[in-house]
Amino acid sequence: MPNKACKFRLYPTPAQKILLAKTFGCVRLVYNHWLDRKISQYKEDQTALSYTFCAKELAVLKEVDSISLQQSLRHLDQAFKNFFKRSGTGFPRFKSKRNRKNSYSTVCVNQNILLSDGCLKLPKIGPVKVKQHRKIPASYVLKSVTVSQSPSGKYHASILFEYENQVPERKPQTFLGLDFSMNGLYKDSEGNEAKYPKYHRQAEKKLKREQRKLSHMQKGSRNWEKQRIKVARLHEKVANQRKDFLHKRSREIVNAYDCVCIEDLDMKAMARSLHFGKSVHDNGWGMFTTFLKYKLEDQGKQLIRIDKWYPSSQTCSVCGYKNPETKDLGMREWDCPNCKSHHDRDLNAAINIRNEGMRLISA
């Protein structure tokens, strides 16, 4: 059975905020304590402490939800498994108290978590007022909740539901190729551009001004805390604008096409570039492809990833001639030496990506 997460805004009372802060602190304490124990144990006799061993010795704090502490141990155990699988996540690190982004997870057991009447009932916290912007179908089964606090001080709950979904996979009839664009997010095989507004660059001047004010204040003072929240809200606004734009564009594409073809790019390597790293971070291509993937799957449609070494920009989409001169990224338009066709670099690449995706589907 598939799962779906729904995120809602929480409005806890002052007393509930204190309880949430205690829970965040206890979860962080448990994680750091057992990470230190695991490191010491391995240095001592080259053995590893399992989750079962840690859970047996876990001292349950009555003030907070015990399941959230167990989940913290599970997250630590999974972090070590990911590290030894060499998945690129790195060695588990201690959680800092100075990190303004806090979260904890808990599991629904015997209806200890309920969402009803505009409130979310949480273990040890009680009913918290929630802004429920969507109706949850009666067939959905609540499985777990992750409560988080953003750096700006806002609280959110990401609720995981399990539901039955038997969407038949449909045979693709309409295809669209997307070529990644550094400035406008993408250009598709129909010649359309996303025209991403570059929200971070729009807010860059204001961000610099507010961050400069923050750097001149005494750290830890009341004015410093007020200014820190102001800066955090600016960053949060940019992130929300970006996410809103990507959701709308991905929805338009999914409603219009059965299969979307993209290149499987290494965005982390591109983001490390000195020339266009900021543009890669700003347009959020990785987030965009994630939105495309789950929205297509919900309707039985497909997202096809083309090998990143496929020469989409070098190949003529008309005759298939491979032009090595187009390796120069500054060449935005070119004429095919073989068939004399004139090409826009990005449009030609998007058409080639679409054609390669169609070939992979039919193979």
For residues 285, 286, 287, 288, the Cα torsion angle rounded to the nearest 10 degrees is 50
Chain-centroid distance of CA 24 in Å reads 22
Per the CB < 8 A criterion, the answer to whether 150 and 31 are in contact is: no
Q: What is the DSSP letter of 338?
A: T
CA–CA dist 52, 363 (Å, integer): 47
- Annotated active-site residue 307? The verdict is no
| 263 annotated active-site | yes
Transcribe 255-308 into DSSP letters.
HH-SEEEEE---HHHHHT-TTTHHHHHHHTHHHHHHHHHHHHHHTT-EEEEEPT
Q: What CA–CA distance (Å, rounded) separates 212 from 169?
A: 53
- Which secondary-structure segment (H or E) carries 33? helix 14-45
Token output for 250? 């991905």
Catalytic residue among 179, 188, 210, 258: 179
- Given 65, 258, 346, 356, the catalytic residue: 346
**DSSP β-ladder status, 185-188 and 259-263:** unpaired
- What Rg do the C-alpha atoms of the chain give, in angstroms? 25
- Residue 187's closest CA among 39, 279, 313? 313
For 37, other C-beta atoms within 10 Å of its C-beta total: 14
CA distance 4 to 195: 30
Q: How far apart (Å, rounded) are the C-alpha atoms in residues 291 and 243?
A: 10
CA–centroid distance for 171 within its chain:
29
Q: Is 328 a catalytic residue?
A: no
Residue type for position 357: G
Catalytic residue, chosen from 188, 263, 282, 356, is 263
What are 7's two structure tokens?
Answer: 């995120």
Identity of residue 109:
V
* Length reported for the chain: 363
Give the C-alpha separation, 17 to 125, whole Å: 9
Residue numbers annotated as active site: 179, 263, 346
